[in-house]
Amino acid sequence: MGKLYFRHGAMNSGKSTALLQVAYNYEERGQSVAIVKPAVDTKGNLSVVSRLGMARDVDFVILPTENLRTKFAEHSQSTGSKIDCLLVDEAQFLTAEQVDQAMEIAVIDGVPVLAYGIRTDFLTNGFPGSIRLLEIAHTLEELKTICRCGKKAMFNARLKNGAFVFDGDQVAIDGAEVTYESLCPSCYYAKIGKTT
Amino acid sequence: MGKLYFRHGAMNSGKSTALLQVAYNYEERGQSVAIVKPAVDTKGNLSVVSRLGMARDVDFVILPTENLRTKFAEHSQSTGSKIDCLLVDEAQFLTAEQVDQAMEIAVIDGVPVLAYGIRTDFLTNGFPGSIRLLEIAHTLEELKTICRCGKKAMFNARLKNGAFVFDGDQVAIDGAEVTYESLCPSCYYAKIGKTT
Amino acid sequence: MGKLYFRHGAMNSGKSTALLQVAYNYEERGQSVAIVKPAVDTKGNLSVVSRLGMARDVDFVILPTENLRTKFAEHSQSTGSKIDCLLVDEAQFLTAEQVDQAMEIAVIDGVPVLAYGIRTDFLTNGFPGSIRLLEIAHTLEELKTICRCGKKAMFNARLKNGAFVFDGDQVAIDGAEVTYESLCPSCYYAKIGKTT
Amino acid sequence: MGKLYFRHGAMNSGKSTALLQVAYNYEERGQSVAIVKPAVDTKGNLSVVSRLGMARDVDFVILPTENLRTKFAEHSQSTGSKIDCLLVDEAQFLTAEQVDQAMEIAVIDGVPVLAYGIRTDFLTNGFPGSIRLLEIAHTLEELKTICRCGKKAMFNARLKNGAFVFDGDQVAIDGAEVTYESLCPSCYYAKIGKTT
């Protein structure tokens, strides 16, 4: 039996680097991985991109309407060999159903699934995929990073043209206009004016 | 600054025992705790009850319509001294707002909050309180227990008069008619007929 | 395959309570456990004693010269049925060889071994058993408790007739004359005069 | 107050990558780090080298006879500004005294110290530095990797010209002749002929 892991961390905590390292480790031991990314994320142009400078193409993308278990089985068959591990980048963008399918890949098909993603959006609300992962994953592991103040960052504040904003759509991929800064709860509270 | 901890575990994993131990430890070191329980839970008659045989009255209960931070401040004032730690039993029954208030108790008021609860109901869906805790708690720690098969139990299956049931209200406190058994995902899948 | 777990924590962090809870959980699911204690520990008179008020006799004791794997096999045979889990109280008092034997019970015999103990003595040096457990256990998990100052306690300071002492034998079971207080590193440093 | 972290993992689990990511994260938030490496390790020629292809020079090296706290203070002064975090690569090669000095840097000087290293040598015995880190670090975190069989690797088997060897010096830096393969306990036991 495999397990479903949710390795969560604030933005810019090194999740993509960690995913690429795991892929490297598996392959170095003669095992194979598949990397999948929800199609909603257009950052990196269907690659997993680490801020440290590494990148690697995903093996397949998944649309919100598709079945992850079916798609993974099709990919496995296309490679002609058993895949030893499924890695999910930006897993918060999976649907809740796709997380249940990931659980079935682990528990019924016996393939470990390592899902990397953030817990919450810029308003501290969970994404459908991350909520479901937090509910059912076998193991919840945190990738830590620091806030500008030195404490552990947990929340993902959004900036628009450099200014913190607290309204807008849940999903806004970072780019030229929109950026994110991961903050500790104290610093996040200070930005929204909650100090007492 | 304090932190908000969510110590989650399947039913019958020993959460109440762990809570009572923490209370004991604090008091042994000359520090004080307050224990709160959401009013929805009627098990134990406003006590924290451990299956190992210990019990202790809660310090106050919280209704879904009440503000946890206000209620805690009132309780602190009534004792005439600073409370060093807030312990929450059956934390899955908090509202999402009350979890945010628990976060403020930790981050703004500087009092650590240790919340004990289950992640999901008998259909593997999160409770409002547990979802919010999973989204924002500083630390997620699992109290493990085993399934009848020996693997780690994660899901809380409901039995009615001894038979597994998969429909009904989200909340049904265990008692004479309704009981729960914590199962691993494989055994839970077997019970709902999902085997391939 | 089973695993060897080392669940470590400062003195008075609730290790015995946690051990008794695990035993209860296994038995509640119709599984069996054996509890062993190194003979060097005379506290509790061959019982596992929780400060919360519970106690339970150990199933067998182990002398420094005995082989844990052999002794466990003999105990299993004497019960006439397979034991599902071996629980070790005061595991720091195992010899290094006995920890290796615990590892073989887990890896070769397939029985999970949960060892509870402290990491270090009153001078912050490891015990032979705890060092070996830290070196090879599959999983290291901490049971946390607090220092008198509110921070996490880690070191086990010894008191003799109420006064902190920093010389003496590594093993001195707590009783009428000798007691222990678990301290955070800052408070421990203060007691030994290391402040800059 | 800072903390001393020991992030341990079998060889080739990605420790250097993780260290480089943490350095990147700190600097991205406008904070500074210092990277130190014990001089015994000659791999990478005074760089931290990740198998993923990244490398970075260390800020200073430490000889077994030197005082880590003094050396770090000198380095901090030479940069003219406070260092926010000390990162230690190949931390198993620190002496026990240097680990105590790392603890003082964290607890007394208030600078978090993140030490990356392996727990045990090719015979499963701890190194002086890793034993002391396991004894006193505030937090023990594992970086996981897999064995050739798919289970978690924990032990670091040595190969000489491609053949497993089980005698030799504790320290033999991997290179042309000597290599290492991280194995799970089962596979390691199989290599040394321990199967029952």
Take residue A11 and report the two structure tokens written for it: 């933005």
Please list the residues that pair with A146 across neighbouring strands: A152
Neighbours of chain B (3+ CB pairs under 8 A): A, C
Query: Do B108 and A140 make contact, defined as CB atoms within 8 angstroms?
Result: no
Mind listing the pLDDT tens digit for each residue in B102-144?
999 999 999 999 999 999 999 999 999 999 999 999 999 999 9
Mean pLDDT over residues B63-71, rounded?
A: 96
**Which pLDDT score is estimated for B196?**
86
List CB contacts of C50: < 8 A, sequence separation 6 or more: C14, C16, C17, C20
**What does DSSP assign to residue B79?**
H
The reply to whether B69 falls in a domain is yes
Backbone angles phi, psi at C132, to 5 degrees: -65, -35
A40-74: pLDDT as tens digits: 866 656 899 999 989 999 999 999 999 999 999 99
Residue C78 lies in a domain: yes
Q: Domain tally for chain B?
A: 1
Phi, psi at A88, each rounded to 5°: -115, 120
Cβ-defined contact of A107 to B152 (cutoff 8 Å): no
* The pLDDT of residue D148 is above 60: yes
Name the residue among B134, B139, B144 with its Cα closest to residue B5.
B139
C52 and B51 in contact by Cβ < 8 A? no
What residues in A contact B151, CB-CB < 8 Å? Answer: 1
| CA-closest candidate to residue A93, choices A151, A172, A38, A34 | A38
> CATH no. for residue D10?
3.40.50.300
pLDDT at C41 over 60: yes
The answer to the question of residue D117 being in a domain is yes
**Which of A104-113, C40-49, C50-59 holds the top average pLDDT?**
A104-113
Using CA coordinates, name the residue in chain A closest to D14: A21
Residue C105, domain member (yes or no): yes
Q: Does B154 contact A at CB distance below 8 Å?
A: yes
| Residue C96, burial from CB neighbour count under 10 angstroms (0-12, 13-18, 19+) | middle
Longest distance between any two alpha carbons in chain B, whole Å? 60
What is the pLDDT confidence band of residue A173, given thresholds at 50, 70 and 90? confident
| Tokens coding B143 | 């109290």
Sheet holding A113-117, edge to edge: A60-62, A33-38, A85-88, A113-117, A4-8, A139-142
Decide if B140 touches A, using CB distance below 8 A.
Answer: yes
Query: Which DSSP string corresponds to D42-92?
Result: -TTSSEEE-TTS-EEE-SEEE-TTS-HHHHHHHHHHHHTS---EEEESSGG
Is D146 part of the contact surface with chain A (CB cutoff 8 Å)?
yes
User: Does residue A158 sit in helix, strand or coil?
Assistant: strand
Chain B residues lying within 8 Å of C31, measured CB to CB? 146, 148, 150
List, by residue number, the catalytic residues of D.
90
Residue D166's closest CA among D158, D175, D155, D154? D158
pLDDT (mean) for C101-110: 98
Against chain D, the chains showing at least 3 CB pairs within 8 Å are A, C
Are chains A and D in contact at 3+ CB pairs closer than 8 Å? yes
> How far, in Å, CA of C25 to CA of C65, rounded?
32
Question: Would you say residue C165 lies in a domain?
Answer: no
CB A69 within 8 Å of CB A105: yes
B107 Cβ under 8 Å from any chain A Cβ: yes
- Residue D41's pLDDT is what? 65
**B177 among known catalytic residues:** no
Q: Which of B6, B5, B1 is nearest to B111 (CA)?
A: B1
Nearest to D25 among A14, A28, A53 (CB): A14
C37 falls in which pLDDT band (50, 70, 90)?
Answer: very high
Of the candidates B66, B90, B104, B141, the residue annotated as catalytic is: B90
Helix D15-28 / helix A15-28 crossing angle, nearest 10 deg: 170
Per residue in B153-180, pLDDT tens? 999 999 999 999 999 999 988 888 999 9
pLDDT value for D1: 79
Average pLDDT over residues D167-175: 88
pLDDT at C134: 98
- D27-81: pLDDT as tens digits: 999 999 999 999 886 665 689 999 998 999 999 999 999 999 999 999 999 999 8
Binned at pLDDT 50, 70 and 90, residue B37 comes out as very high
Structural domain for B100, as ranges: 4-144
Residues of A tagged active-site: 90
Residue C103 host element (H or E): helix C96-107
Q: What is the pLDDT of residues C117-130, one digit of tens each?
A: 999 999 999 999 99
Nearest to B148 among C13, C21, C30 (CB): C30
Residue D172 pLDDT exceeds 90: no
Closest chain B CA to residue A92: B135
Residue C181 located in a structural domain? no
Query: Tokens in use for C163?
Result: 């006064």
Q: What is the token pair recorded at C59?
A: 């199933």
Between residues A41 and B148, which one has the greater pLDDT? B148
How wide is the angle at C-alpha D101 spanned by C-alphas D96 and D102, nearest 5°?
95
Touch between chain B and chain D: 3 or more Cβ pairs under 8 Å: no
pLDDT at C175: 81
Q: Hey, is the C-beta of D54 within 8 angstroms of any chain C C-beta?
A: no
Query: Quick check: D17 and A17 CB within 8 A?
Result: yes
In this model, does residue D120 exceed pLDDT 70? yes
Contact yes or no for C146 and B25 at CB 8 A:
yes
